[in-house]
Structure formats: structure tokens, C-alpha cells
């Protein structure tokens, strides 16, 4: 029998704590509360009856930890526990209007990238819970006490994709306004609203007093009903009792109804008395109407980005016309792509465009993979740039936060393929002002297409502020009159439709000398015409300078603070004569610095510049053998002798890496093979999740020119063996940090030994000793990163 839907037009009372109530009624510390569904049903019946009597409209079934990970040591299955729990709650609610919620809490393991549980696995685990809950007849699902937005997304997708249940989602925040994983209230609100939750809110962590400002922020950032389910204050460190009584809890929480909160309950430390107190104060109160902010927005959990001014989209993650990038894609060289991201972030980009489409690349596999890697290295929101629907869906699925998609156009077929994805994952979308007939030549025609795209998006259920329009930049040297049309169309879209506008500005100057000047002038004109989202290369300082100046003139940069900071060290303008003098002086300084010195002193930028210079007269190989390796050896000897310390060793290694990057880019341009001295694999063994030691070894080896395959941390023995087989690896480096993970190292070595042509194995890490290395059958023990280079030399030859 389908139950009546929850009426969000009224104040809704949820229940109070389950865990702390069970503890006060005899659950031992460390016990598994979900087992009580089978072992002590009468206890749960009592709790449900008490909450119903206290005025709860919804009771949470005792399924908070009923997932396969948390139950694995109990010998009980998810379906068994969930159906028993729901049945108990439904029995208690029978004959009333009270709804029973399937309660879904965190899985208890950290998701990637901070942890090791893959997103897809989390989705499967939640799917099992959601299916069991729906089958048992739950009226709704609640996802609660979440601190990781990624895990929350997995749970929400699992409920929405596998059941028809309405779903309430609450997360736990600290006083700082962030969750433990750094998620902000705005990021949470916008992401979950976009993903289709029915109501969202905050639970646990603090009392209602401390939660109030965060609830207000939440109310501003979502049109959905807002839930408040706080703790009864904070626990006392001596006796563990929560410090707020039922009356003061209700007195503090009830006024949140004035701010527009409409769903109430209690978490840890509360009891039926607390619920009764709030219910008495709020029953028959009307729900206060709110006016949430309607603004364009993209985000990652840690970086909310309202589009309330000019936001720069970095264009560098794109293989078009870039040989080195194409090579990186074909070779799965993620580090190169991640460096592009980091450089743009440091240069001031607000959003990164991500395009990995290239012949020979499986975009549907590559785009989600690159998105995951990028999100582990940069906090910036991403714009997924592809016309491949499968690639977009896969990437939108694994994206953590609210993404943008680039792009759709006025072609009906494209709109009907892509817009449903935008709607499902709550992304923003860029609409290009062209269609199956090509690029219209007049501003009015482009504006018509923009309107068509907007209408299609609105009728698909995508909010207006999530539609961004690109009026298209054409090359001014080829179609001179089109620059004016583009700017005119831009102004019309901005003024008449009020939408955000996107424009790739670099194209404008193609084929002209001094391109930067034309590009910059066009950028400035476009911003004045209403461009809010320029796509450009943020590494070009003159473009970013123009954006900084525009933000001052538009009033966005309040008190010119960012501008002053950016140019604080700026020298006053020089006449051209004194400019030349300065240039000469700088040349003289760099002439004194040799490549070898730059590497030894760890000067990255200088080393790269000097290498570019030297390559005019020397070959790549002689550069490596005559300069780079001797310089690194000099640093290495100093390190051995205790004159140079680890941070300096690593800085030198990274200066060498910058030189290698110069060499790789040159070879890629010529279409040649990369310089590699031998390929080896590194991994931190299963169970070990801390990997700075392994990363140090990798940095140093790479900078001696070795090709390092990095399997990451917590790597199962089988994964090492498979990689060795597939990639024909002859040297494997394993790291273990804890005595508890040494067994995994031993197991990995034993498995490798069984291969027909076993690789050499080197081991290291805090708890590993030379004796231990011998005993488990490793070929080498490396006491530090420098020693691993000696071993690589021995294995691969000089």
C-alpha cells in the first residue's frame, strides 16, 4: 500500500536520538545497535512508541549502520536487519499517520581520494540498503550524519536510482561552518538540491544554539524544506552527559522556524521529552516562506563559487594543438595533466575546463578518471568539456560537487541527449549560439538560439541560473565584422535574458602578430559588454591583470583589496630606456647561474629556462648526462654526508624535474620517444594509507629520468602482480609504514616471486630493516630515496 506523501506545507516533527537512548536503556558501549532489531525487539518498540507519543510525525527505523561494511563482523545480512527494523517501526506506527524512515548513516570507511573506498563501491553498498528498505515498506529514506559530500552523493544517487522513496538528507557540520572533510554549507546545499533531495538539513555535532547561523546560511542556499536535528548540546568529558535539558533545547530550537526551518528533531543526547518540547512549541505554526538566493553557482565541497562577478575559466587542460598534452593522454601520464591544473590554480583560475577528447583516447573512461585525479589535487570546480554523452554522464557521476558542462547548442538532437544529464546531476550547462545549420552571422540570430536553448533547459526542469550562454568568438583576422556581432549578442543575452555568459577569448587574435594585445583588448571589451565567464590561459599574466583591473572598476573587488595585493610589489613604470637597463641587468644575473647550480639550489623556474637555452647548442642526452645527473649526484653526496637535508634534496629533484619537462616537451614536438632510463613500479602495501615516503622516492627516481608507475597506497598484492605482468616491469619498490602492514609486504613479495620472470624487488619504509628485507625474499633494502636511485642504477645499468 502506497503511503501518503509527507506534507512539507506543514511543520514536520522527526524523532530524537536512537543511539544514546539505547545506551541509556542498556546497550553496552561498542555494541552494534542494529543487532537489537533481532535480539531486543521490545526495547525498540518501546522507543518508537515513546517518540510517537511525544509527537513525532516520522520515526527513524534502527538501520543507521545497517550496511554490509559495518555488519560484516556480525554474521547478519543487510536485508535481514533492515526488514526486521522496518517491520518493528511499522508495527509501532500502525493505526497512526506516523511515517517510517529507512535510516542511512555513513558506511564507516573513508571514500577516495582521502580514503580508499571507491565511489562506485559506495554506491553499490548504499544500493543494497535502499533496496532492502523499499522492499520492507519504508515510507521514506533519510540519509544522515554525513560529513563527506561525496559519500552523501553516493547514498542519494543509490536511493533515487533504485527506489521511489522521498529522501531527506542531513549532514553534520562543525562550528567553523565546515564538515570534517571541509565541505561548506553552500556547497552541500547547492549540490544536494541539484541532485534532487526532497529536503536537506543539519543534524548532530552541536546544540541548536551553535547550529543556528549555519541553518540560516542553508536557508539562503536552497528552495527545499530545511531540516534541523541538533544534539542536546555538548557531552561532558567526565561523565559523558549532554549539557542541554529538554526545555532549553526546545526554547533554542523552536525559533528557527522563524528563519524558515520547517522540519525538526533531535540527535545525540535528546530523548522523547526533547521532541515533545519542540512539538508543543511548533504544532500548528505555519511554515515561514523563504526567499533563497537565486544565483549561478558551481562548487567542489571545499570551494563554493557563486558567479557574482567575473570568474576565469582556465583553458589549458585540452589536447587540441598541443603535442605534449596529446602524448600525456596517450601515455596515461596523469602527473602532466595535474601539473596543468595546479599551475592554473596558482595563476588565479576560478574554474578549470577539462577536455580529454583525442583520437585513440577512450573518452568515456578517461574523462571520469581525469576528473577524479583532478579533484584529489585541486579544489577548483570543473567544467566538463565534451560532446560525448557517455563521457559526460560518467564524469558527472563521479564529480564531487556541482559541475558545469561545456556544451550544448541549439540542435534539438544535442539538447535532448545532454539536458536530461544536466538535470539529473544538477550541473550548470553552457549553450553555444549555433545549431545544425552552423554559426549564425548576426547577433539577433545568435540571440534567438540562446533563447531556444534556455527554453529547452527550463522545460527540462533546469533552473534558469544554471544556463550559461556562449556567443562564440570568431577569428578577427578572418571575419573582421564578427567581433562586433559577438559583443552585441553578448550584451543582448546579458541584458534581456539575464544569463551568465561564457566566451573563449583567445581565438580572436589567431593569425595576428602580438596576439596578446588583441586578445586582451577583446577581453576587456567583452567584460564591459557583460562577459562573466571568460575562458582563457590564466598563465598569461597580462590577461589576468586585465581581469584584476576590471574587477576594481566594476566594484566587485571591494576596497580594491585583491588588486592592491596583486600589485603590491610592482615597480613604478619605467621609461623604455631604463627598461632596457633592467633587462640587461637580469640577463647578467642569469648568465652567472649555471644549470648545474640551479638544480643544486633547487631553483625550478631558472633551471627550466637555462635548460631551454642550453638545448640550442646541446642534445637532450648530453644535457641529462653532462649536467643534470652530475648535479643531482652532487646533492646526493651532500645528503649522504649530512650536509644537505631531505627538503633540499627534494627541491633539487624538482628543479631537475622541470628540466626533464622541457626535454619531454621538445621531444614530443619532434614526435620522438621520451627519454626514459627504465620503468619501475612503486606502491604502498595493502593496509598502509599514508604515502609521503613513497612519494619522496618517486620524486627522486623520476628526476633521475626513470619512468615510475605509481600504484598509490593501500595496494593489494594481486594489483601489484597484475601491473608487473601487464606493463613488463623489472623493478618493484614497496613501502610499509606500520608493523601491522609488514605481512602484506611479505605476501606481495611472495606472489611476485611466483611469476615466471620475477622482477627485482626493493623494500623500504619506517619499520623495514635490512634483515627483514632478506627474510621475506626482497632483493634490496633501501634506507632512503637516495639509496633507491643506486639500486635502480644497478638494476638498469648506468
Partner 1 sequence: MEPNVDEILRYLRVRGEAPEPLRAQVETAARELADSLPPRYVYRAFPLAWGGDGVTLAGSGVTLTGDLAKKMLQECDRAVLLCCTLGMEFERRLRALERRDMGKAVILDACGSAWVESGCDAAEREIAERFAPRCLTDRFSPGYGDLPLALQPAVLTALDARRRLGIHLSDSFLMTPSKSVTAVIGIADTPQPARVRGCGYCAMKMTCDYRKGGTTCGV
Contact between 321 and partner 1 per CB under 8 A: no
Could you tell me where the beta strands, DSSP code E, fall in 276-329?
297-299, 304-306, 313-317
Site string for partner 1, 201-220 (x = CB under 8 A): ---xx---------------
CB of 286 to partner 1, least distance (A): 34
CB of 24 to partner 1, least distance (A): 12
Contact between 185 and partner 1 per CB under 8 A: no
Rounded CA gap, 258 and 693, in Å?
Answer: 53
CB of 117 to partner 1, least distance (A): 10
Q: Which of 28, 511, 555, 671 binds partner 1 (CB under 8 A)?
A: 28
Specify whether the CB–CB gap between 210 and 247 falls below 8 A: no
Which 241-280 positions form the footprint of partner 1 (CB under 8 A)? 268
Rounded CA gap, 754 and 716, in Å?
Answer: 16
3-state secondary structure of 536: strand
CB atoms within 10 A of CB 274: 27
β-pair type (261-264, 533-536): unpaired
Rounded CA gap, 492 and 488, in Å?
Answer: 6
Contact between 184 and partner 1 per CB under 8 A: no
3-state secondary structure of 545: helix
Comparison of 302 and 562: residue with beta carbon closer to partner 1? 302
3-state secondary structure of 289: coil
Contact between 109 and partner 1 per CB under 8 A: yes
Q: Which of 40, 323, 488, 690 binds partner 1 (CB under 8 A)?
A: 690
Comparison of 8 and 336: residue with beta carbon closer to partner 1? 336
Rounded CA gap, 399 and 410, in Å?
Answer: 26
CB of 150 to partner 1, least distance (A): 12
Q: Which of 38, 43, 79, 114 binds partner 1 (CB under 8 A)?
A: 114
Nearest to 394 by CA among 431, 361, 425, 415: 425
Comparison of 436 and 769: residue with beta carbon closer to partner 1? 769
Rounded CA gap, 149 and 399, in Å?
Answer: 11
CB atoms within 10 A of CB 771: 9
CB of 759 to partner 1, least distance (A): 25
Nearest to 378 by CA among 661, 683, 179, 113: 113
Site string for partner 1, 696-725 (x = CB under 8 A): x--x--------------x-----------
Nearest to 122 by CA among 398, 321, 359, 406: 398
Nearest to 298 by CA among 349, 339, 225, 372: 349
Only segment of 75-83, 236-244, 506-514, 585-593 that touches partner 1 (CB under 8 A): 236-244
Could you tell me the three cell numbers for 648?
633540499
Specify whether the CB–CB gap between 548 and 556 falls below 8 A: no
Residue 317, phi then psi, degrees to nearest 5: -85, 80
Contact between 413 and partner 1 per CB under 8 A: no
CB atoms within 10 A of CB 449: 24
Only segment of 109-117, 207-215, 317-325, 384-392 that touches partner 1 (CB under 8 A): 109-117
Contact between 759 and partner 1 per CB under 8 A: no
Strand order in 780-781's β-sheet? 707-710, 679-684, 731-735, 760-764, 780-781
Alpha helices in 593-674 (DSSP H): 595-600, 604-614, 620-623, 629-640, 646-670
Q: Which residues pair with 535 in a beta bridge?
A: 313, 504
Comparison of 318 and 657: residue with beta carbon closer to partner 1? 657
Comparison of 127 and 713: residue with beta carbon closer to partner 1? 713
Contact between 24 and partner 1 per CB under 8 A: no
Q: Which of 365, 692, 750, 755 binds partner 1 (CB under 8 A)?
A: 692
3-state secondary structure of 230: coil
Name every residue whose Cβ is closer than 8 Å to that of residue 132 and which is 6 or more positions away in sequence.
66, 78, 79, 82, 83
Only segment of 23-31, 42-50, 443-451, 518-526 that touches partner 1 (CB under 8 A): 23-31
Which 479-538 positions form the footprint of partner 1 (CB under 8 A)? none
Contact between 180 and partner 1 per CB under 8 A: yes
Contact between 567 and partner 1 per CB under 8 A: no
Which 581-610 positions form the footprint of partner 1 (CB under 8 A)? 602
Q: How many residues bind partner 1 (CB under 8 A)?
A: 63
Where is 466: in which H helix or E strand?
none
Only segment of 28-36, 221-229, 385-393, 429-437 that touches partner 1 (CB under 8 A): 28-36
Comparison of 19 and 223: residue with beta carbon closer to partner 1? 19
Report CA 137 to chain centroid distance, whole Å.
35
Which 617-656 positions form the footprint of partner 1 (CB under 8 A)? 642, 645-651, 653-654
Site string for partner 1, 721-750 (x = CB under 8 A): ----------------xxxxx--x------
β-pair type (304-306, 297-299): antiparallel
Only segment of 235-243, 407-415, 585-593, 673-681 that touches partner 1 (CB under 8 A): 235-243
Length of the chain: 798
CB of 127 to partner 1, least distance (A): 22
Specify whether the CB–CB gap between 370 and 338 falls below 8 A: no
Nearest to 52 by CA among 16, 10, 5: 16
Q: Which of 7, 295, 346, 455 binds partner 1 (CB under 8 A)?
A: 346
Which 143-172 positions form the footprint of partner 1 (CB under 8 A)? 145, 147, 172
Comparison of 137 and 235: residue with beta carbon closer to partner 1? 235
Interface contacts to partner 1, rule CB under 8 A: 28-30, 108-110, 113-115, 145, 147, 172, 179-182, 204-205, 235, 237-238, 240, 268, 302, 338-339, 342, 346, 376-379, 602, 642, 645-651, 653-654, 687-690, 692, 695-696, 699, 714, 737-741, 744, 766-769, 783
Amino acid at each position: 500500500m502506497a503511503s501518503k506523501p509527507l506534507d512539507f506545507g506543514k511543520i514536520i516533527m522527526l524523532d530524537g536520538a536512537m543511539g544514546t537512548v539505547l545506551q541509556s536503556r542498556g546497550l553496552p558501549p561498542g555494541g552494534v545497535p542494529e543487532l537489537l532489531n533481532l535480539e531486543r525487539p521490545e526495547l525498540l518498540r518501546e522507543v518508537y512508541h515513546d517518540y510517537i507519543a511525544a509527537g513525532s510525525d516520522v520515526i527513524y527505523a534502527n538501520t543507521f549502520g545497517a550496511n554490509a561494511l559495518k555488519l560484516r563482523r556480525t554474521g547478519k545480512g543487510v536485508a535481514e536487519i533492515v526488514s526486521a527494523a522496518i517491520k518493528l517501526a511499522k508495527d509501532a506506527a500502525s493505526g497512526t499517520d506516523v511515517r517510517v524512515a529507512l535510516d542511512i548513516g555513513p558506511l564507516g570507511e573513508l571514500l577516495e581520494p582521502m580514503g580508499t573506498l571507491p565511489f562506485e563501491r559506495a554506491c553499490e553498498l548504499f544500493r543494497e540498503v535502499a533496496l532492502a528498505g523499499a522492499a520492507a515498506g519504508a515510507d521514506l529514506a533519510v540519509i544522515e550524519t554525513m560529513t563527506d559530500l561525496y559519500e552523501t552523493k553516493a547514498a542519494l544517487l543509490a536511493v533515487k536510482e533504485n527506489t521511489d522513496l522521498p529522501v531527506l538528507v542531513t549532514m553534520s557540520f562543525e562550528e567553523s561552518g565546515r564538515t570534517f572533510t571541509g565541505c561548506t554549507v553552500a556547497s552541500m546545499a547547492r549540490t544536494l538540491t541539484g541532485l534532487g533531495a526532497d529536503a536537506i538539513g543539519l543534524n548532530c555535532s552541536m546544540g541548536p544554539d551553535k547550529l543556528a547561523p549555519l541553518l540560516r546560511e542553508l536557508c539562503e542556499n536552497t528552495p527545499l524544506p530545511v531540516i534541523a536535528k541538533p544534539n542536546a548540546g555538548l557531552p561532558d568529558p567526565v561523565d559523558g552527559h549532554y549539557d542541554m535539558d529538554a526545555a532549553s533545547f526546545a526554547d533554542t530550537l523552536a525559533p528557527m522556524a522563524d528563519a524558515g526551518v520547517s522540519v525538526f528533531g533531535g540527535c545525540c543526547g535528546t530523548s522523547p521529552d526533547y521532541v515533545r518540547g519542540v512539538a508543543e512549541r511548533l504544532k500548528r505554526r505555519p511554515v515561514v516562506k523563504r526567499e533563497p538566493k537565486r544565483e549561478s553557482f558551481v562548487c567542489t565541497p571545499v570551494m563554493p563559487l557563486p558567479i557574482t562577478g567575473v570568474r576565469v575559466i582556465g583553458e589549458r587542460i585540452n589536447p587540441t594543438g598541443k603535442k605534449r598534452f596529446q602524448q600525456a593522454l596517450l601515455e596515461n601520464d596523469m602527473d602532466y595533466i595535474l601539473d596543468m591544473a595546479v599551475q592554473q590554480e596558482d595563476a588565479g583560475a576560478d574554474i578549470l575546463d577539462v577536455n580529454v577528447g583525442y583520437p585513440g583516447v577512450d573518452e568515456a573512461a578517461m574523462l571520469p578518471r581525469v576528473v577524479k585525479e583532478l579533484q584529489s589535487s585541486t579544489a577548483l570546480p570543473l567544467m566538463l568539456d565534451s560532446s560525448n554523452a557517455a563521457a559526460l554522464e560518467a564524469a558527472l557521476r563521479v564529480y564531487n560537487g556541482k559541475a558545469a558542462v561545456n556544451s550544448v547548442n541549439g540542435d534539438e538532437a544535442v539538447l535532448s541527449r545532454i539536458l536530461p544529464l544536466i538535470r539529473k546531476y544538477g550541473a550548470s550547462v553552457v549553450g553555444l549560439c549555433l545549431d545544425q545549420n552552423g554559426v549564425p552571422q548576426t547577433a539577433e540570430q545568435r540571440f534567438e538560439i540562446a533563447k531556444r536553448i534556455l527554453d529547452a533547459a527550463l522545460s527540462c526542469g533546469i533552473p534558469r541560473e544554471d544556463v550559461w550562454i556562449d556567443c562564440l568568438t570568431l577569428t578577427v583576422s578572418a571575419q573582421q565584422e564578427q567581433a562586433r556581432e559577438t559583443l552585441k549578442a553578448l550584451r543582448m543575452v546579458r541584458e534581456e535574458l539575464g544569463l551568465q555568459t561564457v566566451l573563449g577569448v583567445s581565438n580572436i587574435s589567431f593569425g595576428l602578430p602580438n596576439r596578446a594585445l588583441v586578445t586582451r583588448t577583446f577581453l576587456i571589451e567583452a567584460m564591459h559588454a557583460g562577459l562573466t565567464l571568460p575562458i582563457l590561459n590564466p598563465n598569461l599574466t597580462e590577461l589576468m591583470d586585465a581581469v584584476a583591473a576590471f574587477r576594481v572598476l566594476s566594484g566587485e573587488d571591494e576596497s580594491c583589496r585583491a588588486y592592491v595585493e596583486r600589485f603590491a610589489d610592482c615597480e613604478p613604470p619605467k621609461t623604455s630606456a631604463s627598461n632596457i637597463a633592467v633587462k640587461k641587468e637580469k640577463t647578467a644575473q642569469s648568465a652567472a647561474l649555471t644549470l648545474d647550480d640551479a638544480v643544486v639550489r633547487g631553483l625550478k623556474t631558472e633551471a627550466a629556462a637555462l635548460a631551454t637555452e642550453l638545448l640550442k647548442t646541446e642534445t637532450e642526452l648530453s644535457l641529462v648526462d653532462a649536467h643534470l645527473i652530475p648535479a643531482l649526484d652532487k646533492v646526493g653526496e651532500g645528503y649522504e654526508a649530512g650536509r644537505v637535508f631531505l627538503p633540499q634534496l627534494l627541491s633539487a629533484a624538482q628543479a631537475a624535474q622541470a628540466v626533464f619537462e622541457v626535454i619531454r616537451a621538445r621531444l614530443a614536438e619532434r614526435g620522438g620517444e621520451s627519454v626514459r632510463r627504465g620503468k619501475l613500479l612503486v606502491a604502498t602495501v595493502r593496509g598502509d594509507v599514508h604515502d609521503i615516503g613513497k612519494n619522496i622516492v618517486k620524486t627522486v627516481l623520476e628526476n633521475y629520468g626513470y619512468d615510475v608507475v605509481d600504484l598509490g597506497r593501500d595496494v593489494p598484492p594481486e594489483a601489484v602482480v597484475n601491473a608487473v605482468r601487464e606493463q613488463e616491469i623489472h623493478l618493484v619498490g614497496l613501502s610499509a609504514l606500520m608493523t601491522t602492514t609488514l605481512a602484506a609486504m611479505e605476501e606481495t613479495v611472495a606472489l611476485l616471486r611466483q611469476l615466471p620472470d620475477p622482477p627485482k624487488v626493493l623494500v623500504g619504509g619506517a619499520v623495514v630493516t635490512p634483515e627483514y628485507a632478506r627474510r621475506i625474499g626482497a632483493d634490496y633494502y633501501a634506507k632512503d630515496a637516495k639509496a633507491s636511485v643506486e639500486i635502480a642504477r644497478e638494476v638498469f645499468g648506468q
